[in-house]
Homo-oligomer: A and B are copies of this chain.
């Protein structure tokens, strides 16, 4: 696996990221969105990068607005810290600008390739708007999110605009995002091909087999 770190400069400040591809190159790409209060180097993102690289797929991840190296150190802990990080970093507008700039950069460096999205929880707060507005996204693995949270109303409005195939994960006993809000968001997705997978457990207890199968799903749908 070849790893390249980069740092871009955009309307919402500096955007550090990591690009990875198999040693013999890749003809497909997946954008990885990390979860709330995590960062581009969180363990499950590294797992997903490896699972996808094993299938010959390149990946790119950036620190989300207000996260990782972009964290505002003056933000105090508390139950609403995540919302303050999200909004302080520029929220959904920053997400859209960051990811467009990142995909532009990667395509300029490595060429345009069939591209997908993988992201759960805040990874869906980012990936649903990105996938609904950037035609380069051909398939998305979403989940652990609902018509809920800092951009819940935007998700509600954008979900019907999705057209690419979607797989959507739900944790049946999610203690953070209410189950009904997750089912409602799946219901609103406009894509003809959309499959929901649900498993028992709390928000962060996604079974490892679903992580592996999500890589197989993206592999299959990216052709």
Residues of A within 8 A of B (CB): 170, 172, 183, 186-187, 192, 194-200, 207
Contact = CB atoms under 8 A, between A and B. Distances in A.
Contact of A198 (B172, B195, B199, B200): B195
A182 to B, nearest CB: 11
Residue of A194, A196, A207 most packed against chain B (CB within 10 A): A196
A207 B195 CA distance: 10
Contacts of A183: 183
A103 B199 CA distance: 30
A194 B183 CA distance: 17
Contact of A199 (B187, B194, B200): B194
Contacts of A186: 172, 198
A104 B196 CA distance: 37
A198 B200 CA distance: 15
Contact of A195 (B187, B192, B194, B197): B197
Contacts of A192: 200
A196 B195 contact: no
A219 to B, nearest CB: 14
Given A172-B187, A172-B196, A194-B199, 4 more contacts: A183-B183, A186-B198, A196-B197, A198-B198
